[in-house]
Amino acid sequence: MVSPVFIRPLLLAILVVTAIIGIVAVISRNDSHGVPPVRSAFQQLPRNIDIALHKARFSEMHDGSVVWVLDAERVEYDKSGELAHLNSISMNFLRSGVAGTILLNADQGDFNAASKNMRLRGNVHVQTGEGATFDTSAIEYDAAGSQLSTTAQVIFRQQRLTLKAAGMIMSVDDQHVRFTSPLDATVSGVGAKK
């Protein structure tokens, strides 16, 4: 017959081993059914993109002075290194003299590093230092000619005047604008009683 002195430690050992087996079973069951694997913080870039940046700033200088500054929320460079795809664009053309600055905002665009030309699209809004605004769906910046142009519908506003046309060319240096189609003009407040 087994002595009661040996029965108690044996029962205690059996209880401890059973408890450990139960805990391991619960953990392994929850691990295999529950939480999906943690995803990497790094996003996979498309095949044609070499590098992506957040909150990038570009600028161009001529004769020691800044011509323009461009901020973008996201920039993706393609593998050739010449084309950058931009998102959430804010561009400031800095000019001294009478013409003043030009502010330009767009949803997205492409910047050619070799030519410094840009194609901007999506809710394009241009505002001059004189308070004139241009709204269009797409616009191009030609660096060599220092001009903004579009063939899309443009709405021009300044004070009480609103002009609508299809197409426009604007010199960034002197801010002279030429519309390339007939204009639809509206002057607000004409004939209104005061």
CB 132 within 8 A of CB 148: no
Whether 148 shows a pLDDT value over 50: the answer reads yes
Q: What pLDDT score was predicted for residue 40?
A: 45
Q: What pLDDT score was predicted for residue 124?
A: 97
Whether 36 shows a pLDDT value over 80: the answer reads no
Q: What pLDDT score was predicted for residue 149?
A: 96
Q: What pLDDT score was predicted for residue 2?
A: 59
Q: What pLDDT score was predicted for residue 21?
A: 83
Q: What pLDDT score was predicted for residue 141?
A: 95
98: its two tokens: 């009478």
Fold classification of 58-187 (topology level): lipopolysaccharide transport protein A fold (2.60.450)
Whether 23 shows a pLDDT value over 60: the answer reads yes
Percent of the chain with pLDDT over 70: 77
Residue with tokens 């940046």: 53
If you average pLDDT over residues 14-21, what whole number do you get? Answer: 78
Give the mean pLDDT of the chain.
Answer: 82
If you average pLDDT over residues 113-138, what whole number do you get? Answer: 93
Mapping DSSP onto H, E and C, the string for the chain reads CCCHHHHHHHHHHHHHHHHHHHHHHHHHHHHHHCCCCCCCCCCCCCCCEEEEEEEEEEEEEECCEEEEEEEEEEEEEECCCCEEEEEEEEEEECCCCCCCCEEEEEEEEEEECCCCCEEEEEEEEEEECCCCEEEEEEEEEECCCCEEEEEEEEEEEECCEEEEEEEEEEECCCCCEEECCCCEEEECCCCCCC
pLDDT confidence bin for 3, thresholds 50/70/90: low
Percent of the chain with pLDDT over 90: 41
pLDDT confidence bin for 194, thresholds 50/70/90: very low
